[in-house]
Structure 1
């Protein structure tokens, strides 16, 4: 029987890092080298650097004009101008020229009057000693400290060093990092995947994260789950590199060999950290070289790198870890968390009114796209059960706050057109962005009611009138609201190519595996309406409680064979190569407060809706109509009573 790795105990991030650093302090020694100053950007100084020369190197003219003997300019005025003779009273100088005795001041060229005589000028104001002269050493004095030790060199520092006559500088050697992806199921990008294959990408992320920290990283080919091969690779790398990263194989699987290899070769300081995602982190030392095992799931791997690899690189490279800005934001959705872990929730962030709003994204450890979409992390501390909707949380930002403040926050029903609009937004108006979070139509209206979104995309059918969206705004909001007409779209059943189950309509859902949308989604409300019309109970549908949050997620389930049918829009079916059985047309519109119609971000949004470029994209996607796109319907519930 194969042996499993059991986590006897997980410890906090702080305790794990402190324990590991304490061990590394006894084995890590920063290495130093001398390099040309011209190549020193972002490198770290070993010790204080002192100027070799003064800057300026001599007393110099600060203006174009004439250098004068100031004593000879005394008494000059409009009434009694003074005439000066070149070579006797003055010499012509340009900015930066030396000014040597007997000259002790400079008069600007624009303050000189012509006399008509060659070599003579007239002045109407006396010059003061040292007027418009940069004295020697005004900027830098020889022997003065220019940069302190343990300082990361910036572009401006390079210029000052050269001005002070420094051409070489002693800096920390860039740490060398060996990166080993592992796993028999792992294939290289470009190889053709088969069932069970996983395309390797984490190591390239590590490679670039390490380079961002100033390290020299080498990514090695994938090692299969072979104990001896992993052992040999780690042993050799620990002799040649400053840090070794092993990706995957750190968890509790029967073929997760990393921890066993590291126990044989050296010391495992920590195995298992109270962090979610990312628990199966290994912190070890082999032959005085730090070796870190990171989990295979992309988000877990990233969080492990941020929390443990970067601090170790800072020790090796003698630099201080850069801190991302932390802001307070209102969370748009209730988050439940385990007391056992510190949990990192990826969030989209935008500014609505005077408050920042954080909308949670997918929480799975393998949800790599949530990392791409995220503006930052909301960190739920260990021993916390979570946070309630509208509660203020701390968010560590990975995106510039100015971009966030210029982002249109869209929360509600999902459609592929939101991605198209997000792509067009900065193109139509540079510096403006759109972020969308998919929580269903009703979830979007609730976010709008709490003033946590600018716009809520909706497609909610009123069963009594057959009209979409308007009645919901009248019931939910007291304030004057607006509905921006979006697109007409076709909803239908998505089934595998060729429709192998022979599904023809809603009645047939009783004999297949179905994948549904989440509660509050307009698509689910439409399904419930159709089931009611056909007098079909949800209990008769296998998979009714199996939920997906987007049309594309539903289509992916059907395409992969995880379900036989799911309801969604035509564009999602087309994108995934599925057959599509229409069940009806609907209106996909955008709800907002009337007062927000004047916001520049909203005006840009309207401009996109009406643009031919957007309409071209809709033609490509298929299944949309846009005759009313951008029209505004004003709704005041008080006038309806």
Structure 2
């Protein structure tokens, strides 16, 4: 009996230890929050931005009118300070005169006028004399010398002969023909084009009040990361996510500051995040955001501010972090923890950063063009996630075909080759070959329609042919 009692006690102890071990594992893994649907994650994040008045333009700044102003958005309207032209100007090379003086001129009854007593030569844009009210184009006059003979000094003759009358104000640009002083030249919210800059300058302005360009700081972290150009050894990973993210932000209209690589050290990462929060409008903390032993992203956000979301039901980009840093200076800076895999990082930019940059710039995000295409092979998809599938598209026999590319979150070339992406919403487990799906294309539709679709294993011959036809813009 004593032996069996001993076994029973030992079994109870083992069961308790197993239970505690399980609880420990649960506690250890609780860092990875339950997946939040993409729409709920966006809603939570943008609600927080609205709470801190960060859901629209971030302010304004004064810039000079030059070529670098193109693409900026006006924060204030542009009113004309002066008229354009601000004087009566000749519209062409010719002679200014009084129209009444040639009212009887005809081919059979030419009229001659002395220069400069009755007619004055003007180049295009010259000021019209106060006494004149029309300009005769130089090709419509006959230049004469003092003897009434034709001469070669067409711009400086003794007199001119005309064989046609001219209405008052012919070939004259009157004051305000283009712009009238005090009129509205460009409205607030206008995205500046090259011609808009010319109109603003013509109206007498030399500066513009535009929407402040958001500054995004990108902080790559990871002990395994090495800069581009480094001779890599086993275990090294070339850090290029910050380049891809930075280029995306510039393309969308933001400014970028890339921090050097930070090793996996909690205090160092915190210090760099605090530095970035001093003047940045958005911080992208690029690191593996899963609950690994060296993951500091969520802990950094919780320490320096608020963590709103950790884990989103979207692929690629599952372990995204959304939060807010509260700096010592009183600034509130949104922070996005970007996953380390390159496809996940790039798609996080597309899904979260792009719309935010457009919103801060006062612009409407341009939607992707959509086409309906028939999928070439079966796709499986996690039932609980919104799945962004990279697609290669082509038009074959009058219909669009969609060939899914590699699904790996680390396959950056899948984005290079992709003509767009399809979104398989959560609740579905994929699509069968031959089904039709909607593709959001990121290339010119003409390019897709002129694409030769080759499906099968990789063949270097196809690469050689592709390089050859590329020379002809195909």
Q: Give the TM-score of the pair, scaled to structure 1.
A: 0.62
Q: Any conservation in 1 of the 2:143–2:158 contact (CA below 8 Å)?
A: no
Query: Is residue 2:97 matched to residue 1:68?
Result: yes
Map 1:141-220 to 2 at 5 A. Answer: 141-220=180-259
- Which of residues 403, 420, 424 is equivalent to 1:380? 424
Deviations 1:288-312 (A, max 9, x none): 1101101111111111111112233
Contact 2:73 2:210 in 1 (8 A): yes
2:317 matched to which residue of 1?
Answer: 278
SS at match of 1:195: coil
From 76, 87, 92, the equivalent of 1:47 is 76
SS at match of 1:293: strand
Is the 8 Å Cα contact of residues 323 and 334 (structure 2) preserved in structure 1?
Answer: yes
Q: CA deviation at 1:353?
A: 5.6
2:5 corresponding residue in structure 1: none
Aligned CA distance change for structure 1 residues 60 and 273 (closer, same or farther; 3 Å): same
Deviates more, 1:115-124 or 1:161-170: 115-124
Q: SS of 2:29's equivalent?
A: coil
| Distance across 2 between alignment mates of 1:51 and 1:327 | 45
Which residue in 2 is equivalent to 1:35? 63
Shift in Å, 1:356? 4.1
Contact 1:13 1:307 in 2 (8 A): no
Q: Secondary structure at the match of 2:347?
A: helix
2:319 is equivalent to residue 291 of structure 1: no
CA distance in 2, matches of 1:206, 1:32: 25
Residues 253 and 358 of structure 2 are in contact (CA less than 8 Å); yes or no, is this contact kept in structure 1? no
3-state SS of the aligned residue for 1:35? strand
- Whether contact under 8 Å (1:70, 1:104) holds in the other structure is yes
Aligned pair partner of 1:399 in 443, 446, 464: 443
Equivalent residues, number = 430
Specify the SS of the correspondent of 2:458.
coil
Does the C-alpha gap of structure 1 residues 402 and 110 become closer, same or farther in structure 2, counting only changes over 3 Å? farther
Larger RCO: 1 or 2 (CA < 8 Å, sep 6+): 2
Q: CA RMSD in A?
A: 2.6
Using a 3 Å threshold, how does the CA distance of structure 1 residues 380 and 134 change in structure 2: closer, same or farther? farther
Q: Which runs of 5+ in 1 are unaligned?
A: 434-641
Output the CA distance in 2 between the equivalents of 1:164 and 1:348.
49
> Which of 27, 32, 37 is residue 12 of structure 1 equivalent to?
37
**Given the superposition, is the C-alpha separation of residues 364 and 121 from structure 1 closer, same or farther in structure 2, using an over 3 Å criterion?**
same
Aligned to 2:270: 231
- Among 131, 138, 152, the alignment partner of 2:177 is 138
1:330 & 1:93 partners in 2: Cα distance? Answer: 67
Q: Secondary structure at the match of 2:36?
A: coil
| Aligned partner of residue 222 in structure 1, secondary structure | coil
1:102 corresponds in structure 2 to 131
- 3-state DSSP of counterpart to 1:347: strand
The match for 1:308 among 352, 370, 373 is: 352
Matches within 5 A, 1:473-552: none
Displacement of 1:260: 2.3
Secondary structure, aligned partner of 2:384: coil
Alignment TM-score, normalising by the size of structure 2: 0.82
Q: Secondary structure at the match of 1:25?
A: helix
